[in-house]
Amino acid sequence: MLPENILKQGKNLTESTSIDIFQKIKFTSITTEESILTSYVLEGEKETPIILLHGFDSSLLEFRRLLPLLSKNHQVWALDLLGFGFTERKLSINYSPENIKNHFKEFWAKMIQKPVILIGASMGGATAIDLTLSYPEIIEKLILLDSGGLIKQPIISKFIIPPLDYFATEFLKNLKVRQSISKTAYFNPNFATEDALQCSALHLLCNNWNKALISFTKSGGYGSFSHQLKNIKKPTLIIWGENDKILGIKSANKFQEMIPHSKLIWVKNCGHVPHLEQSEITANHILDFTNN
């Protein structure tokens, strides 16, 4: 169960999809180096399972609009990655991409146990690429939403050295900063509502949030997969907002050029988060691809 302070803060959510996904969060114990209480939401029963992977310093709440649209046709899992979202953070763990990958594999082995369609947004796209390259036997199709994976290192990593590491995470924790980032993520800034801010900040109340973020960033995070993308053999759909001001738009074409069997779809009037800003259009493109 979510901690009392997060449940209390969650009462400030106002959008129906936000309230619904928040109330459906469950936990299961996943063991790699240690047992970790791992947060997820599950909806739907049909067809090949879909797993949704969130972005950097985010949570499964970012799929509040997309998940119910996809779950009409698929069993859909929204997962909080190791070190992120509402998943438990233990100080003894190194929150590296390698351990994130191991944690995901154990979650899949315990909860799903059959090939999945992997959807990754932003940093979650880099995670999805890493998983597809490492465990192709469990991935049926790959879908990237304004994905990371072509940029060498996040800018914040330059500041994750003591004592700047504490101040860097405190900077990210500032709600005015998060609201500014939220407005930049959307083409239409009216999407950056108080509810959206609450969704982006609820996980900050988790124990050891800042320490896990520092650990992940010090590990180097996800670098560029540019030399490995040619090894992806799974059908791949790339969905990209035409007005992405977070990652820009050049990476979209590069992904299409480098990944065999890939298709690129542009979403109009959309920034970095098509699953939030143009959720119905994004869901339709995804379902067309998964049903093909």
pLDDT at 169: 81
Question: Taking the model in full, what pTM does it have?
Answer: 0.95
Cis-peptide into 163, omega within 30 deg = yes
**Per-residue model confidence (pLDDT) at position 65:** 99
Summarize pLDDT for 61-117 with one digit per residue, the tens: 999 999 999 999 999 999 999 999 999 999 999 999 999 999 999 999 999 999 999
Least confident residue range of 45-59, 146-160, 271-285? 146-160
> Cα–Cα–Cα angle for 165, 247, 62, nearest 5°?
75
Please tell me the distance from the alpha carbon of residue 124 to that of residue 53, in angstroms, as a whole number.
5
pLDDT band at 166 (very low <50, low <70, confident <90, very high): low
Domain boundaries along the sequence of the chain: 4-290
Give DSSP secondary structure letters for 134-199.
H-GGGEEEEEEES--SSSSS-GGGGG-STTHHHHHHHHHH-HHHHHHHHHHH-SSGGG--HHHHHH
Mean pLDDT, range 242-252, rounded to an integer = 96
Under CATH, to which class is 4-290 assigned? alpha beta
Buried b (16+ CB within 10 A) or exposed e, 27-58: beebebeeebebbbbbbbeeeebbbbbbbbbb
pLDDT confidence of residue 218: 87
Rounded to whole angstroms, how far apart are CA atoms 151 and 163?
Answer: 26
- Is the backbone of residue 107 left (phi > 0), alpha (psi -120 to 50) or beta? alpha
